[in-house]
Amino acid sequence: MTTSREIAQLCGVSVATVSRVFNQPSTVSRQTRERVERVARELDYRPNESARALASKRSTLVGLVWDTDHRRPGWRHPFLQDLLLGLKSALSAHGYHLLMLATSGAETGSANLPAVGASLADPVAYVNMTRRHHLGGLILIDSGSDAAAFAAFAQSGIPCVALDVAIEGPRATYVTSDNTDGAEQAVRHLIAGGHRRIATITGPPDNQPAIDRLAGYRRAMAEAGLPVPEEYVAEGDFYRASGQAAMRRLLALGEPPTAVFAAGDEMAVGALLTAREAGLRVPGDVALAGFDDIEIAALVDPALTTVAQDKAGFGVAAAEAMLAMINGSGGDTPAPRRLPTRLVVRSST
Amino acid sequence: MTTSREIAQLCGVSVATVSRVFNQPSTVSRQTRERVERVARELDYRPNESARALASKRSTLVGLVWDTDHRRPGWRHPFLQDLLLGLKSALSAHGYHLLMLATSGAETGSANLPAVGASLADPVAYVNMTRRHHLGGLILIDSGSDAAAFAAFAQSGIPCVALDVAIEGPRATYVTSDNTDGAEQAVRHLIAGGHRRIATITGPPDNQPAIDRLAGYRRAMAEAGLPVPEEYVAEGDFYRASGQAAMRRLLALGEPPTAVFAAGDEMAVGALLTAREAGLRVPGDVALAGFDDIEIAALVDPALTTVAQDKAGFGVAAAEAMLAMINGSGGDTPAPRRLPTRLVVRSST
DNA sequence: CTGAAAGCGCTTACAG
DNA sequence: CTGAAAGCGCTTACAG
């Protein structure tokens, strides 16, 4: 590994000048700058990240908080792969790397070293990791009910971008899909298909996207002047089994719905299975729409009408917000972003 | 952030002693050690990672090489989420974090700073990143045809663990499923079901798991004394569309197979769709088995018989191999691991 | 068993 | 525009 000292010697300048060429190029004369740049390129020089972070207190790392504790409900993210891909490529384009922060398992840490992993039960641990590594900020992926911990991060002053959960703080923002609008589109589509008895299967009541999707359902129903009897709002938890259970309850009703909007595709698939078991034709006897457009949505029979999110765009938007805060002058925290969704009509409606 | 200096002052010792308590505890008297440990715990002290890495030349980071260049064929990993989960939790348990290394996009790097991202076309860039960040090693995920680049990493002396691709080098090893055995199990199962005309849809011919699965198919066929006409080996690329195309070719044969083993579930699903289109009943007219046990395998109709890999165990095994090399005395590179697979019989056979 | 000192490779005021 | 110097917070021979 070539060091700044070697470059400096070869160019007949001090290491300070070499450093300036890469950090405040405008303060260096064009002549020296070009000389240093050329030699650096030839020797494939790049500053040592540990030294740079130590001296400048800023690294090129952005932390990812994604609690994978087995003991958590830990629902699988509907599109983690695309999300990571978007995050990573947008960060990469600006020279940043994504650090998946260790989460403390039961017996984290060696016998001697203090524990290294963090748990969302103890947000301070993450804050400490952020400072020890001089991370540029934290990207927060909700794994179920991390809102409280995320709020703590947001207050710490560390740049934070949360996905699908609203946070606020001096340097905190979030990215989400326009869940309300997406749900509204789906329910309007059902209404346009002639349905009037339309039920919904919701996500967990403390989950923001779930709340917003329910609001979209209610709004579309209200717009059309359709009633929403209490029993038509069946609670689920985004998992398939809860969709099955909710669908059984709906079908057992005196006046069962002729259409169901499930706030997540997994639940929609569960509802589909239950309808099939009950001998109902989909969409003939009951129409079904979901949310997320996960891979299996297109594959079940009948293929599921659903609301697609901009999966990779989600990651890109989060990365952009983070970079804006890192490079920004400080006061300019980006506003929350609400990405548009798109109704994908298939044969289940 | 409390520093080692503060701890030292509070304990009335030198920073050297504080450092020793955490790095070579046996060289410190029990009395001082306990005092330092207590104070450190009270102040929630943990060493600054940048400083530690700079001074010791070793960090608590392990790099993940996963090329996500859009221009690559970039087939989606069949179970990236579980893989990451396994990796992350096993690394976390030993205080290591996973660093997703930036890949150079088209225009990586700011105007002034040298480009930061690396491309597999230029393995040296990754090697440099490894040294600049003092990474403990590199975990290599193949995204299609990275074998050449991976071989270069393996020769660099950096601890490397590849997933599903065989590498060798002074400190290199790999983890894979027992693909041959898994395929053999699947094909034996078809044979046991009375089939004799059994075809296979393969993965790319340069892909190691694809090669091994084909070998397993051949072995099972040979064991049973069944012929394998050339046309019964239909090449695919692991994607669904290739499974459809291959299935069409197989069905057009003079003597079409009565059973097909696809070397990947996506292709098996493609084959299933094609069979359905052709008006064939599965498994009545043609039985189908896949490989991977991805989520949709259980969901298609009929549900797919397939070979399940130990998804999270994959990540754990890779992490363990890496940790063994990092903490090992040096000479002891772990032997490649071949994880057992498990046949999951469903209704497509 | 412990401390003083050098050093890891940078960055950043401070002078000039 | 440039350099000398201090410093970032640790670790690690080297003495004692």
**pLDDT at position A102:** 78
Phi, psi (degrees; rounded to nearest 5) at B305: -70, 135
Split at pLDDT 50, 70, 90, the class of B74 is low
As a whole number, mean pLDDT of residues B209-215 equals 97
Query: Which of A68, A84, A99 has its CB closest to that of B85?
Result: A68
* B144 close contact with A: CB closer than 8 A: no
Classify burial at A110, counting beta carbons within 10 Å of its beta carbon; exposed 0-12, middle 13-18, buried 19 or more. middle
The one-letter amino acid code at A292 reads D
- Kindly report which amino acid residue has its CA closest to the C1' atom of nucleotide D6: A55
Instruction: Taking each helix axis as running N to C, give the angle between helix B4-11 and helix B30-42, from 0 to 180 degrees, rounded to the nearest 10.
Output: 120
Closest CA to B2 of B47, B33, B36: B47
Is A56 among the domain residues?
no
Are A150 and A211 in a shared domain?
A: no
Are A93 and A191 in a shared domain?
A: no
In DSSP notation, B261-328 reads EESSHHHHHHHHHHHHHTT--TTTT-EEE-SB--GGGGTSSSPPBEEE--HHHHHHHHHHHHHHHHHS
Is B334 among the domain residues?
yes
Chain B, residues 229-288, CB within 8 A of chain A, namely 269
Distance CA A302, CA A262 (A): 15
* A124 close contact with B: CB closer than 8 A: yes
Are B302 and B198 in a shared domain?
A: yes
Q: Which helix (H) or strand (E) holds B53?
A: helix B49-56
Distance CA A183, CA A140 (A): 24
Q: Within 7 A of a protein CB, which nucleotides of strand D?
A: 1-5, 7-13
Digit-coded pLDDT (tens) for B215-227: 999 999 999 999 9
Are B294 and B325 in a shared domain?
A: no
Are A19 and A71 in a shared domain?
A: no
Digit-coded pLDDT (tens) for B139-179: 999 877 678 889 999 999 899 999 999 999 999 999 999 99
Q: Which helix (H) or strand (E) holds A234?
A: strand A233-235
Are A128 and A14 in a shared domain?
A: no
Digit-coded pLDDT (tens) for A236-281: 999 999 999 999 999 999 999 999 999 999 999 999 999 999 999 9
Per DSSP, what are the bridge partners of residue A261?
A200, A289
With contacts defined as CB-CB under 8 Å, which chain A residues touch B51?
Answer: 50, 54
Per DSSP, what are the bridge partners of residue A172?
A160, A169
Is A129 among the domain residues?
yes
Are A188 and A303 in a shared domain?
A: yes
With contacts defined as CB-CB under 8 Å, which chain B residues touch A64?
Answer: 100
Split at pLDDT 50, 70, 90, the class of B105 is very low
Are B270 and B126 in a shared domain?
A: no
Are B39 and B103 in a shared domain?
A: no
Q: Based on the structure, what is the number of domains in chain B? A: 3
B52 Cβ within 7 A of any nucleic strand D atom = yes
**pLDDT at position A74:** 56
Are B188 and B129 in a shared domain?
A: no
Is B349 among the domain residues?
no
Kindly tell me the sign of the dihedral angle through the C-alpha atoms of B226, B230, B232, B236. positive
Is A42 among the domain residues?
yes
Are B200 and B304 in a shared domain?
A: yes
A51 Cβ within 7 A of any nucleic strand D atom = yes
Closest CA to B80 of B108, B60, B97, B100: B100
Is B344 among the domain residues?
no
Q: Which domain holds residue A238?
A: 179-308
Q: What CATH number is given to the structural domain containing B12?
A: 1.10.260
Would you call B269 and A99 a contact, using CB atoms and an 8 Å cutoff?
A: no
Looking at chain A, the whole-number percentage of residues with pLDDT higher than 90 is 72
Is A248 among the domain residues?
yes
Low-confidence stretches of chain A (pLDDT beneath 70): 69-75, 104-118, 145, 329-331
A327 Cβ within 7 A of any nucleic strand D atom = no
Q: Tokens for B224, please give them.
A: 């049973």
Is A113 among the domain residues?
yes
Q: What CATH number is given to the structural domain containing A191?
A: 3.40.50.2300
Are A273 and A125 in a shared domain?
A: no
Q: Which helix (H) or strand (E) holds A97?
A: strand A97-100
